């Protein structure tokens, strides 16, 4: 399968939104294409994230990743959170996820980031194998906590 990866713009929302909706469904949320589209439009309008989009030779979106800028106070530097990564079922095992991750790392380096982080489900073993094969390390020093508000 042939594909390219590029940074998405607000004009790509209709290519990204179905992928984003499928990503949310993967994590147990109900299908809601309007919510997905609205959420992405808000990120684009407020320049709150960077979305990298994989497009096949026919112009269809086959995968995406969404990065959120963060800052490390201890390192006094920019980092990025690789928050979302999804590849359409018909495009899996074709190198799309790895290409998206590599592009995300290149983008982050070019933006002056000193690191990246991500979180994935304990059960998402395929993603964990991919991340580790690309050099990502599971944190052994810190525990992550969260609270619903």
Q: What is the DSSP string of 101-118?
A: HHHHHHHHHHTT-S-EEE
Residue 100 CB neighbour total at 10 angstroms: 23
CA dist., res. 137 & res. 135, Å (int) = 6
**pLDDT recorded at residue 98:** 97
CATH of segment(s) 3-133: 3.40.630.30
**pLDDT recorded at residue 59:** 95
CA dist., res. 98 & res. 18, Å (int) = 20
Q: Please determine, for residue 28, whether its predicted confidence score (pLDDT) is greater than 90.
A: yes
CA dist., res. 29 & res. 26, Å (int) = 7
pTM of the shown model: 0.93
Query: Which comes out higher in pLDDT, residue 139 or 104?
Result: 104
């Amino acid at each position: 399968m042939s594909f390219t990866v590029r940074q998405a713009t607000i004009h790509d929302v209709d290519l990204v939104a179905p992928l984003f909706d499928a990503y949310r469904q993967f994590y147990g949320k109900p299908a809601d294409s309007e919510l997905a589209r609205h959420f992405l439009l808000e990120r684009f309008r407020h320049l709150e994230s960077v979305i990298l989009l994989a497009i096949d030779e026919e112009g269809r979106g086959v995968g995406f990743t969404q990065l959120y800028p963060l800052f490390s106070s201890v390192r006094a530097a920019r980092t990025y959170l690789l928050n979302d990564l999804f590849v359409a079922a018909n495009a899996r095992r074709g190198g799309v996820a790895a290409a998206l991750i590599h592009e995300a790392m290149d983008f982050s380096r070019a933006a002056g980031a000193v690191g990246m982080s991500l979180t994935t489900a304990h059960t998402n073993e395929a993603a964990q194998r991919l991340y580790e094969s690309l050099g990502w390390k599971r944190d052994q020093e810190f525990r992550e906590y969260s609270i619903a508000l």
